[in-house]
Amino acid sequence: MRMTVIGTGYLGATHAVAMAELGHEVLGVDVDQAKIDLLSAGQVPFHEPGLSELLGKHVATGAVRFTTSYEEAGAFGDVHFIGVGTPQKRNGHAADMTYVDSAVEQISRAATHDCVIAGKSTVPVGSAARLQELALTSAPSGTRVSLVWNPEFLREGHAVEDTLRPDRMVLGLEYDDAGRPTSAAQAAEAVLREVYAHQLEAGIPFIVTDYATAELVKVAANSFLAIKISFINALSEITETVGGDIRTLADAIGLDERIGRKFLNAGVGFGGGCLPKDIRALRARASELGLDQSLRFLAEVDDINLRRREYTVQLAVQECGGSLHGTQIAVLGAAFKPESDDVRDSPALDIAARLHSMGADVRLYDPQANANAAQRYPRLDYVASLDAAVTGAQVTLLLTEWREFRDMDPRHVASLVGTPTIIDGRNVLDPAAWQDAGWRYLALGRRH
């Protein structure tokens, strides 16, 4: 089938390549000419394991191409996926729909034949119904544009496998007043079933529902993940006071299948382009709907998460004798999680910037994210290796759990630092091994 993917960031670029891998002809669309040039040359503008190999393969055969032209896209595609961003608004917590609105309007206007628009971006509930109206009013007369909502659940660092082999796929359709899919929606569902035929044959669950449910699945899933992380981090505050081991606690409750061990890793908390923004946007949307009370607790989830950053900063201050002025601090990690170069709302970078603003000389090393971090906070001292970061440091903070950091040899690192004090902000090191090598080992969720 011929399809376009509008927006070629993490979500869109991965989706475009995955669709080519499923055997479709794909045209990626973006307003950013530089990004389009890179992708057309088979280069991925961000770090995502496995993506550049797959992109190279499909660019070479012509299965995937890229353009900035909506005219070209409108003439080409029978299905148009929308994968543009919905960042947090500057003046509040709601999601900014400017890019989604513009993409839907422009592709509808450029459509030369009947087509389906499939929204993948994370949007406030109620958006799809409004966007279907926008598509209808923007499309040339006689051209039918049907809109479905098809949220994306990919994790950065695992984007390719998550897109090709997701846990589930969700499709939101326009319903009539009697609560049934309209005939246009049923036709659109058939088109999407064809797009995903291979995955459906492989038995991936396909949940077909109304617009609102489909929109909510995404933000509900991300909010639940955020709740799990903040829950264990709230318990960290308790174990820090009374003693106890947060990792063993997580292991023990996680063995209850109803709870599960995943997303119970205590540490500096969640960041990135999704979890923080999604809990805020969901809460903001609930307030708009007059339901402020329903999701008020998400504000607490956000607060617990941000408190972890402050606590980590305070630990470092305490280890430096109460003031950071003139101290040298090693920060390991800037990305919001390993296997990604994304520094959006990254706890690691936020903590590093705060330490710097309090007078510390911060030497930061991240295996992939130094360049993105430097764009955001140019005043930190970015170094090209782990050894360079730790040499002479008074305190070393591990804030993103890259394998390179998990595998550090405590004796080797001890031979480089000024003072062997480490704050394990992700609870990934073996305390005994570090203590045996002469370190003062501190971790979040433990009494010191």
Asked if residue 76 binds ligand UDX (CB under 6 A), the reply is: no
Q: Of these residues, 13, 97, 274, 304, which one is catalytic?
A: 274
Q: Is 153 annotated as a binding residue?
A: yes
Report helix, strand or coil for 357: helix
108/265 with CB nearer ligand UDX: 265
H or E segment to which residue 46 belongs: none
C-alpha span between 261 and 228 (Å, rounded): 10
If you count DSSP H runs as helices and E runs as strands, how many of each does the chain have, helices first? 19, 14
C-alpha span between 436 and 416 (Å, rounded): 16
Q: Is 203 annotated as a binding residue?
A: no
9/267 with CB nearer ligand UDX: 267
In the set 46, 66, 81, 153, which binds ligand UDX (CB under 6 A)? 153
Min separation Cβ 229 and ligand UDX, Å:
4
Q: Are 404 and 398 in contact (CB under 8 A)?
A: no
146/265 with CB nearer ligand UDX: 265
In the set 52, 89, 187, 263, which binds ligand UDX (CB under 6 A)? 263
Closest to 20 (Cα-Cα) out of 49, 50, 61, 52: 61
DSSP 89: P
Asked if residue 308 binds ligand UDX (CB under 6 A), the reply is: no
Q: Are 400 and 340 in contact (CB under 8 A)?
A: no
CB-hemisphere CA count at 13 Å for 275?
23
In the set 8, 88, 222, 421, which binds ligand UDX (CB under 6 A)? 222
Of 273-302, binders to ligand UDX (CB under 6 A) are 274-275
Q: Are 366 and 347 in contact (CB under 8 A)?
A: no
Quote the tokens at residue 447. Answer: 């009494």
H or E segment to which residue 343 belongs: none
Quote the tokens at residue 46. Answer: 């961000």
In the set 172, 272, 410, 425, which binds ligand UDX (CB under 6 A)? 272
Min separation Cβ 281 and ligand UDX, Å:
13
Residue with tokens 């890259």: 402
77/157 with CB nearer ligand UDX: 157
Q: CB under 6 A: which stretch of 65-73, 154-162, 283-291, 313-321 binds ligand UDX?
A: 154-162
Asked if residue 155 binds ligand UDX (CB under 6 A), the reply is: yes
Per residue, what are the HEC states of 159-210?
HHHHHHCCCCEEEEECECCCCCECHHHHHHHHHHHHHCHHHHHCCCCEEEEE
C-alpha span between 114 and 134 (Å, rounded): 15
C-alpha span between 297 and 312 (Å, rounded): 23
Asked if residue 119 binds ligand UDX (CB under 6 A), the reply is: no
Min separation Cβ 442 and ligand UDX, Å:
18
Q: Spell out a b/e string for 199-208, using b for 16 or more CB atoms within 10 Å of the CB, else e.
A: beeeeeeeeb
Min separation Cβ 336 and ligand UDX, Å:
4
Q: Are 354 and 376 in contact (CB under 8 A)?
A: no
274/360 with CB nearer ligand UDX: 274
Q: CB under 6 A: which stretch of 107-115, 267-275, 288-296, 366-374 binds ligand UDX?
A: 267-275
Asked if residue 337 binds ligand UDX (CB under 6 A), the reply is: yes
Asked if residue 362 binds ligand UDX (CB under 6 A), the reply is: no
274 noted as active-site residue: yes
Q: Is 271 annotated as a binding residue?
A: yes
Distance of CA 40 to the CA centre of its chain: 24
Q: CB under 6 A: which stretch of 46-54, 78-86, 148-156, 251-259 binds ligand UDX?
A: 148-156
Asked if residue 351 binds ligand UDX (CB under 6 A), the reply is: no
Annotated binding residues for substrate, as ranges? 153-156, 218, 263-267, 271, 337
Annotated binding residues for NAD(+), as ranges? 30, 35, 86, 122, 156, 277, 344
Which residues have a catalytic role annotated?
Answer: 274
Site residues (vs ligand UDX, CB under 6 A): 153-156, 222, 225, 229, 263-265, 267, 269-272, 274-275, 336-337
